[in-house]
Chains A and B, each alone.
Chain A
């Protein structure tokens, strides 16, 4: 248990260029996995990962709004390494607005990327996992569907959909040794938000019982736990990493 290793395992990580996703790619690769790092725009981040881990990390550009994006990422992993043990969905897209003012575009885009994109890649991952009778799927969700969040009804709905989808799928595929769980981060340090809204960090620091925001690398260990053999008896669960903010 003290050594969570993923030697010879193959993972697909969506949002591999993101603030949490790129740390997950690195953590998996450091522990021996071969990783397809899906990204949308930020090739600098994933290219740097590839430089560090050379053969072990393969960046693949894919827009999860496209219906075939999930299949593309999975197929790339299969054709390169011929197996798929782990799928981690760490992509994120927000388009905040109060519901009354939310444009149809904001509404659809978030559902399309966050819910349909996740469902699509989970489905694509099933066949190789069922064949191997082993699989670990970890979705990154958030506190929004569990506790609500201002101006994020679209995001909360999409992630709530991911949680419901994950539990239903967990029941469907448990017989093949495929476990599906979710990690729901709370208020996590993000350079972009702090720059955009200077009141964010003081507000969050004050409101969270642990009196600080989470760091992206504090979310990663829980993802690794659920992606590992150590979590063999957990499925359909959501673990919040949120410093006691909501406790739901």
Chain B
């Protein structure tokens, strides 16, 4: 099975911490050169790059807010300019602004949609140019099981994540003839800063009850699926949604 990514170049958004960090490390361990995007956590992003280069890999940290499209060209060029191409885009950066819709401010809606959906659409558009030229590409979008199930207190996040699934399928259809695939991953409850801060002990216990496998996921669980989708092994998979959620949804 071809999980070897030597010669491939990847751009992972939000790769300074959490799931994105694990993905950047796993892609690099499989041989890819990685652009490690971050927004605010500069030293964390530099740590990721250092870990990769210490293992003999190639990586570069690039600051950019995904919600701001004026930064997108620089991100793409970081890949094509430094590593010669762009094969794999992992749209992982994501934020939450949780509150009940009754109390949700327009700003909470805009912030989440701009980062988790609009920014991804525009960055993907920019990434398609080099991929089309190469006639090879992988778009991997980090959605969420919340995009499948909805969640009280996350109307903005659920809308963005569900929107991302429709976006993924459309990109898959538009780009298939160029040998560019697009797929989405829906992580369940994964142990990262995002979940560490958002949940009280009671809510964590209640969430755990819903996971048949009886544990929360680790960023490495998501990274393994991402490497698979990025590789030649997934050449006939496009427009799909893979939930990595310990059996939470089973949709």
Flag if B212 contacts A236 (CB, 8 Å). yes
Q: Which residues of A contact B233 (CB under 8 A)?
A: 221-222, 225
Q: Give Cα distance in the complex from A234 to B227, angstroms.
A: 15
Of A45-53, A69-77, A102-110, A209-217, the one contacting chain B is: A209-217
Q: Give Cα distance in the complex from A151 to B247, angstroms.
A: 33
Given contacts A233-B213, A244-B238, contact A221 B1 (CB under 8 A): yes
Q: Give Cα distance in the complex from A23 to B244, angstroms.
A: 26
Given contacts A4-B1, A233-B213, A233-B221, contact A241 B236 (CB under 8 A): yes
**A225-248: which residues lie under 8 A (CB-CB) from chain B?**
225, 230-237, 239-244, 247
How many residues of A are in contact with the other chain, CB < 8 A?
40
Of A83-91, A166-174, A192-200, the one contacting chain B is: A166-174
Is B2 located at the chain interface by the 8 A CB criterion? yes
Q: Which of A171, A218, A231, A232 has the most chain B CB atoms inside 10 A of its CB? A: A232
Is B239 located at the chain interface by the 8 A CB criterion? yes
Is A111 located at the chain interface by the 8 A CB criterion? no
Flag if A224 contacts B242 (CB, 8 Å). no
Q: Which residues of A contact B235 (CB under 8 A)?
A: 218
**A165-195: which residues lie under 8 A (CB-CB) from chain B?**
167, 170-171, 174-175, 177, 179, 186
- Our count of residue pairs bridging A and B at CB distance below 8 angstroms stands at 127
Flag if A175 contacts B236 (CB, 8 Å). no
Q: Which of B26, B214, B247 has the most chain A CB atoms inside 10 A of its CB? A: B247
Q: Give Cα distance in the complex from A189 to B3, angstroms.
A: 23
Given contacts A179-B213, A218-B236, A241-B237, contact A233 B245 (CB under 8 A): yes
Q: Give Cα distance in the complex from A222 to B237, angstroms.
A: 9
How many residues of B are in contact with the other chain, CB < 8 A?
45
Q: Give Cα distance in the complex from A211 to B178, angstroms.
A: 10
Given contacts A221-B228, A236-B247, A236-B250, contact A247 B242 (CB under 8 A): no
Which one of A211, A215, A235 contacts B247 once the chains associate, using CB atoms below 8 Å?
A235
Is B149 located at the chain interface by the 8 A CB criterion? no
Flag if B239 contacts A2 (CB, 8 Å). no
Is A27 located at the chain interface by the 8 A CB criterion? yes
Which one of A1, A234, A244 contacts B30 once the chains associate, using CB atoms below 8 Å?
A1
Flag if B169 contacts A242 (CB, 8 Å). no
Which one of A2, A170, A209, A233 contacts B29 once the chains associate, using CB atoms below 8 Å?
A2
In the complex formed, the residue of B with least CB distance to A167 is B250
Min distance, Cβ B224 to any Cβ of chain A, angstroms: 4
User: Chain A, 1-34, contact with B by CB distance < 8 Å: what is the 0/1 string?
Assistant: 1111000000000000000000000010000000
Flag if B236 contacts A243 (CB, 8 Å). yes
User: Chain B, 21-33, contact with A by CB distance < 8 Å: what is the 0/1 string?
Assistant: 0000010011100
Given contacts A225-B233, A247-B239, contact A171 B176 (CB under 8 A): no
Is A121 located at the chain interface by the 8 A CB criterion? no
Q: Which residues of B contact A114 (CB under 8 A)?
A: none
Q: Give Cα distance in the complex from A211 to B228, angstroms.
A: 22
**B159-203: which residues lie under 8 A (CB-CB) from chain A?**
169, 172-173, 176-177, 179, 181, 188
Flag if B224 contacts A235 (CB, 8 Å). no
Interface residues in chain A, defined as those with a beta carbon under 8 Å from any beta carbon in chain B? 1-4, 27, 167, 170-171, 174-175, 177, 179, 186, 209-211, 214-215, 218-222, 224-225, 230-237, 239-244, 247
Q: A174-B212, A210-B179, A244-B176 are in contact. List 19 more A-B contacts (CB 8 A).
A: A1-B29, A2-B31, A4-B3, A170-B247, A210-B176, A210-B177, A210-B238, A218-B235, A232-B221, A233-B188, A233-B217, A233-B245, A234-B225, A236-B247, A237-B242, A239-B242, A240-B240, A243-B238, A244-B173
